[in-house]
């Protein structure tokens, strides 16, 4: 019944594949009835691909931007937009009528299938810039037309994260209820107060999805003791989910 609805994530490196695995596992743990799809790029290793095949319903290889696009972005002074462009590929998944995109650095804490009751483009506000949405979690409708418009827009403006920019695309940003997505930044202990300020939901109470925004990801931080307690509980939950998966999919010991 839900064949045309899917959760979608993206991984362009083997490390981000670790994150993608946890996204799928945490969705399944909480009993999702929707498809779970991973978009990967051709450079992802065979080993990571096989691991993703175990937990995802579909693993789709998408093009990295070609060199001409890259050259164009360099001319614009925005080479980092490569990943953004790859993310926008999710609008090409027209075999689905509605999707929920989840960054590979998110962790699902309970069943979030209710997100499919929302329409394009539903997303939580960014904790740093509340007039923009945070693109870690968003509801969208695949469409080649929207895909092309977004690519155009992104190459010209760099960002499509607010309603002024989206207006021209006839897309409207609708705000997901406060606290649905809790954005956590991994910061050093001396910046602990800053961390509390940027959490869109201070203690994570009521949060349904955790987004580990920022340069340090859970997979790059095993044994890192510089987390606050607030942060630590979610990082260890992430590792628990990752390791359970890794153990259960390992070949049986002879």
87 binds, among Mn ion, ligand UDP, none (CB under 5 to 8 A by kind): ligand UDP
208 binds, among ligand UDP, Mn ion, none (CB under 5 to 8 A by kind): none
140 sits in which H/E element: strand 133-140
Q: Which is nearer to ligand UDP, 87 or 165 (CB)?
A: 87
d(CA 152, CA 88): 11
Spatial CB neighbours of 14, under 8 Å, sequence gap ≥ 6: 44, 45, 47, 48
Q: Which residues pair with 108 in a beta bridge?
A: 209
Q: How far is the CB of 179 from Mn ion (least distance, A)?
A: 18
Q: How far is the CB of 201 from ligand UDP (least distance, A)?
A: 16
**Would you count residue 136 as binding Mn ion (CB under 5 A)?**
yes
Residue from 59, 84, 102, 103 that binds Mn ion (CB under 5 A)?
103
Encode burial over 183-218: b for 16+ CB neighbours within 10 A, e otherwise: bbbbbeeeebeebeebbbbeebeebbbbbbbeebbb
Half-sphere exposure of residue 162: CA atoms within 13 angstroms, side-chain side: 9
**Would you count residue 127 as binding Mn ion (CB under 5 A)?**
no
Contacts with ligand UDP by CB under 6 A lie at: 9-13, 16, 83, 87, 103-105, 136, 213-214
Q: Which is nearer to ligand UDP, 80 or 117 (CB)?
A: 80
**Would you count residue 19 as binding Mn ion (CB under 5 A)?**
no
Q: Which is nearer to ligand UDP, 3 or 53 (CB)?
A: 53
13 binds, among ligand UDP, Mn ion, none (CB under 5 to 8 A by kind): ligand UDP
93 binds, among ligand UDP, Mn ion, none (CB under 5 to 8 A by kind): none
Q: Which is nearer to ligand UDP, 5 or 8 (CB)?
A: 8
Long-range pairs for 233-236: beta carbons < 8 A, 24 or more residues apart:
233/204, 234/107, 234/184, 234/204, 234/210, 235/186
Contact (Cβ atoms closer than 8 angstroms) between residue 88 and residue 95: no
């Amino acid at each position: 019944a839900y064949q045309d609805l899917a959760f979608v994530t993206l991984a362009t490196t083997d490390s981000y594949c670790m994150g993608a695995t946890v996204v799928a596992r945490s969705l399944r743990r909480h009993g999702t009835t929707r498809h779970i799809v991973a978009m990967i790029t051709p450079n992802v290793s065979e080993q990571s691909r096989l691991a993703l095949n175990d937990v995802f319903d579909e693993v789709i290889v998408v093009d990295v931007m070609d060199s001409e696009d890259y050259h164009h972005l360099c001319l614009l002074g925005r080479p980092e937009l490569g990943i953004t462009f790859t993310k926008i590929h999710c609008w090409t998944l027209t075999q689905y009528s509605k999707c929920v995109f989840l960054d590979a650095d998110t962790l699902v804490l309970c069943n979030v299938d209710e997100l499919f009751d929302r329409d394009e483009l539903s997303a939580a506000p960014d904790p740093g810039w509340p007039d923009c949405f945070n693109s870690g979690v968003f509801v969208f409708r695949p469409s080649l037309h929207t895909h092309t418009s977004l690519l155009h827009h992104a190459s010209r403006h760099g960002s499509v994260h607010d309603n002024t920019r989206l207006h021209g695309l006839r897309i409207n940003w609708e705000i997901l209820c406060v606290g649905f997505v809790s954005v956590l930044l991994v910061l050093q202990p001396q910046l602990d107060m800053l961390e509390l300020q940027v959490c869109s939901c201070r203690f994570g109470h009521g949060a349904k999805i955790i987004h580990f925004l920022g340069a340090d990801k859970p997979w790059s931080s095993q044994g890192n003791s510089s987390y606050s307690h607030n942060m630590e509980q979610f990082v260890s939950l992430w590792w628990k989910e990752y390791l359970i998966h890794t153990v259960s999919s390992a070949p049986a010991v002879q």
